[in-house]
Structure 1
């Protein structure tokens, strides 16, 4: 049986910022359909954002990924390592898009955000980032936290 949130995060999850952020984010992501939408849309938004930045200038995408890693490093080494790996994968996919990176990324970005807002309509709660923009960075680790719980990985 997978561990509970408290078991996965250690003896006192309420004292760690990462656990507080995940708990708050989770409050507006309880509807099963909204969660499923987020599990698909959040990685797609991450990919499309890297692609849009890359289309503007490749260094913009690299700088954004690096700055994001600083944020994750302050929260958890486990999430930092996972997000670094996912960012490298995302950048590789962006490179693979070649000259079509802008149009592909724009289409993914719009479609994934529409899906996110549909999910929040079902949920009946506004997206967390309306309160605080840092929740745009919490979303990806929220998805990872659900996977980590199933795999028994502590963060």
Structure 2
């Protein structure tokens, strides 16, 4: 599958259940919040490499970045900026006593997921997480970067093609069920 085909396939699968503006809004808050909640405990595992502290949070964000590079360079670089900010603040919180950092991590993680489930209840769609947990956790941060581009009216041709593909798949789905 080509790079463009891989990007469109991933976005179409995820975007199809994220059409309601309120759901998208809650995801734009919830996904980074969940990431923050996950990154905090990942900062607890770290090593010093040539005087620079490298945590498991850095390694995970770098892995996401490398995967996203296979989809789209501009979106991947934009993700890297978000990842840097979240990882930095996760490190600040992660350095606090365990009772504090653990509580913040849990509140962010569960609060972010609560926001997502509320959004899906409003949209009346099954969260992708329920059907495909690994795919959802890989796609969600990337999709939030894509949504930021959409909000600012950037890459409109991609969003037009994405919406057309979602509509095409919805038309084909009932025919495939008969």
- With normalisation by structure 1, the TM-score equals 0.81
Matched residue SS, 2:70:
helix
The answer to whether 1:129 aligns with 2:118 is no
Matched residue SS, 1:16:
helix
Aligned-residue offset at 1:78 = 0.8
- In structure 2, how many angstroms separate the alpha carbons of the residues matched to 1:77 and 1:15? 11
Flag the structure with higher strand content.
2
Q: Higher relative CO (CA 8 A, sep ≥ 6), structure 1 or 2?
A: 1
CA RMSD in angstroms comes to: 2.2
Q: How does 1:2-151 map to 2 (within 5 A)?
A: 15-55=4-44, 57-58=45-46, 59-97=55-93, 98-99=95-96, 100-132=100-132, 133-151=134-152
Structure with greater Cα Rg: 2
Matched residue SS, 1:50:
helix
Matched residue SS, 2:125:
coil
- In structure 1, how many angstroms separate the alpha carbons of the residues matched to 2:5 and 2:69? 13
Aligned-residue offset at 1:94 = 1.2
Aligned partners of 1:65 and 1:87 also within 8 Å: yes
Aligned-residue offset at 1:109 = 0.6
| Deviation readout 1:39-78 (Å, 9 max, x if unpaired) | 11011111111112223x1332122112111211111111
Q: Look up the match of 1:10.
A: none
The answer for unaligned runs of 5 or more in structure 1 is 1-13
Equivalenced residue count is 142
Aligned partners of 2:4 and 2:71 also within 8 Å: no
Aligned partners of 1:52 and 1:106 also within 8 Å: no
The answer for unaligned runs of 5 or more in structure 2 is 47-54, 159-178
Aligned-residue offset at 1:28 = 0.7
